[in-house]
Amino acid sequence: MKVNRPIVWCLPLCCMVAIAVWYAIPPSPISAAQRGDLEGLKRALQSGRDVNMVYVPFGPDARPGWTPLMFAMAKADVEAVRFLIENGADPSYATKEGVTPLRAAVWYGQSQEDRTCACIEIVARAGGDVNAQDCTGLSPLHIAVGQRKCQVVAKFLECGGDVKRKAGDGTSLLAHARCYGENDCVIKLLVAHGAD
């Protein structure tokens, strides 16, 4: 059987070109943040991509309107969050449903509470509204209470979370806490901060 030599030489060359193009073209800040790729984020922003680019989703697992900061918050990627904030990411951006970076950290966030807390502190110090309510009237603090994340609740309270703020249905934060089960740590924190 005769092998066509140009095809044999062409295949490795095509692979090398594809790899070179892959590394030469910077990723979008969205895809880099979704993957937790800090170097990709740096390359994307150095190439002039918008740090507040809004995600236009495809598929069932989409999060419409999210920014790279929101994806980094959901991954509890402290380094990426710090980098994005330092490079102009909007800490108070909200989707049309009212999802903010702080809400993304709690609702969609990883189970690593210490990393989530570090991200919350970075964004809150940069001007993120810890009391912003989504379209259902829930603040990030309400969500943290509902998930019984004691360390995250403490961080929101430390950053100015309002224990008197009621949910959209009029439920107090303490009632909200009891509705999701008796978690002594969360309830003690709320009462210590003046919840009724």
The answer to the question of residue 13 being in a domain is no
Q: Quote the tokens at residue 182.
A: 């008796």
Total number of domains in the chain:
1
**Ramachandran region, residue 77 (left: φ > 0; alpha: ψ -120 to 50; beta: rest):** beta
Over residues 182-194, the pLDDT tens digits come to: 668 888 999 999 8
The answer to the question of residue 110 being in a domain is yes
Looking up residue 142, the CATH number of its domain turns out to be 1.25.40.20
Kindly give the confidence (pLDDT) of every residue in the chain, 196 residues in length, as a single tens digit, with 9 standing for 90 and above: 555 555 555 556 555 555 544 455 668 899 899 999 999 999 999 999 999 988 877 655 567 789 999 999 999 999 999 999 999 999 999 999 999 999 999 987 666 889 999 999 999 999 999 999 999 999 999 999 988 889 999 999 999 999 999 988 998 888 888 887 666 888 899 999 988 8
The answer to the question of residue 171 being in a domain is yes
The parent domain of residue 40 ranges over: 36-53+63-192
User: Cβ neighbours of residue 170 under 8 Å, at least 6 residues apart?
Assistant: none
